[in-house]
Chain A
Amino acid sequence: MAQLQIFTQYLKQYLKARLAYRLDLVVKFITDLISQSFNLIFILVVFGHTQTLGGWNQSEVVFIYGYFLLPWAIFGTFFNLWSFNDKYIIKGELDRVLTRPVHSLLQVIMESMTPESLLGVVTGLIVMGYGASGLDLQWTWYDPILLILFTIGGVLVYAGIFIALTSISLYTDSKTDIQPIVFNVSNYGRYPVNIFNRIVQFVLTWMLPFAFVGFYPASFLLDRGDWRIYAYLTPVVGIVYFAIAVLLWNRGIRHYRGAGN
């Protein structure tokens, strides 16, 4: 509970610091919107050539993509770990983190937060709305609850994988380029998984389970029951991956050798 209090304090401070740069915030929102519209245009171009993709029509694919943006934006807000190696290992900021009475991972996460990325949720909802407008979706009372649950699960999957990859920096000094590769793989999660080769399907489900971030939950919301079980599994997979990542992190902190002075 106390950790949660500290978390909100940090969030407040960071929001405050960010809001000081109003222009930055606007620019961030616009660039985010532009980059997402390029992805959207790509989908539309594909459907300019075909009616369906693996049994999915244009509106459905757009909806899946829009849904994918929700966990993606939340992940980007709270788990901005891209510069961890430079900032915390090479520059030695982790030393400071380790002299504070809060869990090291929580501190790193709090210090790397970019609250403005949360605007991506708005983008996501807009895209989802656009996709849904071409569909006749039946919403039940528990769908929004499931939506939130699935989103949290998706965020945990994302966070788990990238925290685990970030932990590598704690074991070795050398930089690894695995993050950008995995990041590219993560993009596959926003397309219907059944359009891919079986091996890719397997990888996206059981190894780097990015299908749980976008496709599986979204297909459930689209009332396509074929993947219902997978959709329900989303929070479980999220918790498992996140837990493994935290274990790896904690072990890594034991291995940490410190930066030279």
Chain B
Amino acid sequence: MNAIEAEKLTKEFQIYQSRKGLTGAFRDLFNRNYRSIRAVNEVNISIPKGEMVGYIGENGAGKSTTIKMLTGILQPSSGELKVNGFDPHNQREEFVKTIGVVFGQRSQLWWDIAVQESFTLLQKVYRVDNKKLLDRMIDVLNIGELLDQPVRKLSLGQRMRCELVASLIHQPSLLFLDEPTIGLDVLVKENIRQFLREMNQEFGTTILLTTHDLTDIEALCSRVIMLDKGNIIYDGGLTQLKQEWGEGKKIHLELDQEVSLEHLGKVTETLPVSWTKNEANAKLFTAQLQGNSITASEVLSLLVTSGVPIHEMQIQEVSTEEIVRKIYQEG
């Protein structure tokens, strides 16, 4: 059984369109215009147990709406949806016992109550009593000192670590993370990622991660689902994504003496490489390799054999960020 199984999942919203001006507002009183918007359009998602999947998309692409349907907050307009074997909205109270949710921009904890008390209360809500797991999570995320402080006094990084513990207190098999590392410093981010990896490996927790920070996805997920205007535009491995959309590597060169761009172009004319020159420093050049058919060493060996005086060099991999930007721009 898959953790998430969605078929033609759709959510439509009726948007009330107001007319312009005061007369328009007056007309709205009697006759309203409604327009329906498909936030999520016949999306198929299938995620096996134990997988860590990144779910990305621009603002307004329908990510949050999807997550809200998957977590049972919203009822889908149409389509089939089974999460952990449940119909999330209609079997909500039973279903939510099997999932954990962290909304980065909203607290899951009680504002006025000490962290420890929040945990105790959650244990009661979920009817669990697993001190060992709790102690361990507290230890790994290093929040032992925060336990007696009220949540409102915590910093963002401290709070987020507490949120994670809170979301996993009942040991759910499926964890939804919506922007869990937003606004956090590098150390806390690393700490959280390490923790998630541990949880995934040890308990086989399935994780669906929504984020704008692609380094999160690179660090955790092997699979990416990309959403645009309510449609899935990519679903597959992270490496394939790079291969399909990546522009190829870049080689930055610093030469011992000035060489003309034409000369470099001539040397590598058998390979699909384009050269650019640094405006400020005439000895710096960049070679853009087209596609993934050639390797950096092919280019370099050509350069060396034709006597181009290389002083220093650096090979730049394609970043996921660049790829995603490109995909968004090209639609």
Contact = CB atoms under 8 A, between A and B. Distances in A.
Contact of B117 (A13, A103, A261): A13
A83 interface: no
Interface of A: 2, 5-6, 9-10, 13, 16-17, 91-96, 98-103, 111, 254, 256-258, 260-261
A103 B72 CA distance: 13
Given A258-B68, A258-B74, A261-B64, A102 B117 contact: no
A93 B117 contact: no
B92 A93 contact: no
A111 to B, nearest CB: 8
A79 to B, nearest CB: 19
Contacts of A102: 93, 125
A94 B103 CA distance: 12
A98 B110 contact: no
Nearest to B90: A254
Contact of A99 (B101, B107, B110, B121): B101
Interface in B89-117: 89, 92-94, 96-97, 99, 101, 103, 105-108, 110, 112-113, 117
Contacts of B13: 257
A9 B106 contact: no
User: What are the nearest 9 A-B pairs in CB distance?
Assistant: A99-B101, A98-B73, A17-B112, A9-B124, A101-B97, A261-B64, A101-B93, A101-B96, A258-B68
Contact of A100 (B65, B96, B107, B117): B96
B108 to A, nearest CB: 6
A13 B113 contact: yes
23 contacts: A2-B127, A6-B125, A10-B121, A13-B117, A16-B113, A16-B117, A17-B113, A93-B106, A95-B103, A96-B101, A96-B106, A96-B108, A98-B72, A99-B71, A99-B99, A99-B101, A99-B108, A100-B125, A102-B93, A254-B89, A257-B13, A258-B64, A261-B178
